[in-house]
Structure 1
């Protein structure tokens, strides 16, 4: 299963808010064996949201969109998703009923709070108010991290794939000095390899075969200088 993550918000693009939602979602999806192919941040603009969501839903198994939910003037994500799928925004009866059961009367809710794309499945907000939605392969969550996390957990089982195993070998050598051994590692084992320099070089070895990862990591550890 491959997924694109779209985060929406002018505050993200201005650097005033750290995009912690994308990092958290990617970690959760990776644990479930799902491959994240894209992370894209968009402004609070209907046309941009519609264009990107429409493009990504054709290319990936699922699209997760976070941010911009609610009834205020800059909460335009639902409108963008509706436009991407050629749907109207309508007052979602199930979402309004759920909020009523939680103690919110119609007078308590700002107009537009329960407007979702026609035909969408409502995702209830256990720690907030604005509902999320699922429409075809597009999942829409709030941008508030606590709300997003709680809502994702309600649909987490809908995201699954082949688990990937990972080991990291730390080498106290320049990255350039490791190139020949990394090349030999890739030729010897069916693994993906990434090298990340810093005070030391962290060589990450990944595969869907746990035994191969273990063998490849042991092979490399025997051939690098390390404090481990």
Structure 2
């Protein structure tokens, strides 16, 4: 299964808010064996959201959109997703019923709070107010991290794939000195190898076969300085 993640928010593009949602989603999707092939951030503009969602729906098994959900003037994600799928927004009775059960009277709710694309399956917001939605292969979640994580738990079983195993070997050697050994590692084992320099170099070894990963990591550890 391959997935694209779309995060919405002017504040993300301005550097005012760290995009922790993208990192968290990628981590949890990969843990479930899902390939995350795109992470894109778009502004709070209906046409940009619609264009990206429409493009990614054609390329990937699912699109997860987070942020810009709610009734305020800059919460236009539902509008953008509805436009991408050629649907109208309409007030969703199930979402309203959930909100009433949570103690919100209809008269107290801001107009648009429960507006979802026509035919959407609502997702209950256990932590906040604004509901999410599932429309075909598009999953719309709030941008508040606690709300997003809580809502993702309700759809998590929809995302699955072949588990990927990973081990990390850390070495103080410079990356340039490791090239020959990394090439030998790739030739000897059917694994993906990543090299990430910093104060030390982190080398990741990945495969869908756990035993192969363990053997490859052990082979590498005997051939590099480790920390």
What range is the shorter-chain TM-score in? Answer: over 0.9
Paired position in structure 1 for 2:204 = 204
Q: Is 1:114 aligned to residue 98 of structure 2? A: no
In structure 2, the residue matched to 1:67 is: 67
- 1:20 is aligned to 20
Unaligned runs of 5+ residues in structure 2 are none
Q: Deviations for 1:15-48, whole angstroms, at most 9, x for unmatched residues?
A: 0011011111111111111111010000000000
**Shift of the alpha carbon at 1:111?**
0.5
Q: Deviations over 1:158-177 (max 9, x none)?
A: 11111100011112211111
Q: 1-side partners of 2:172 and 2:143: how far apart?
A: 41
3-state secondary structure, aligned to 1:50:
helix
Partners of 1:16 and 1:101 lie apart in 2 by 35
- The aligned counterpart of 1:45 is 45
User: TM-score normalized by structure 1?
Assistant: 0.98
Structure 1 CA distance for aligned equivalents of residues 44 and 183 of structure 2: 44
Please give the alpha-carbon distance, in whole angstroms, between the structure 2 residues aligned to 1:197 and 1:110: 50
In 2, the alpha carbon distance for the partners of 1:72 and 1:173 equals 52
Provide the rounded CA distance (Å) in 1 between the counterparts of 2:18 and 2:172. Answer: 32
**Partner residue in 1 for 2:33:** 33
Q: Tell me whether 1:194 sits opposite 2:227 in the alignment.
A: no
Is 1:58 the counterpart of 2:46? The answer is no
Distance in 2, Cα, partners of 1:13 & 1:76: 16
Match of 1:10 in 2: 10
Cα distance in structure 2, aligned partners of 1:84 and 1:169: 44
2:63 partner SS: strand
RMSD over equivalenced CA pairs, Å: 0.7
Instruction: Work out the CA distance in 2 between the residues paired with 1:157 and 1:4.
Output: 17
Q: Which runs of 4+ in 1 moved over 2 A?
A: none
Unaligned stretches of 5+ in structure 1? none
State the SS of the aligned residue for 2:7: strand
Question: What corresponds to 2:77 in structure 1?
Answer: 77
Aligned length: 227
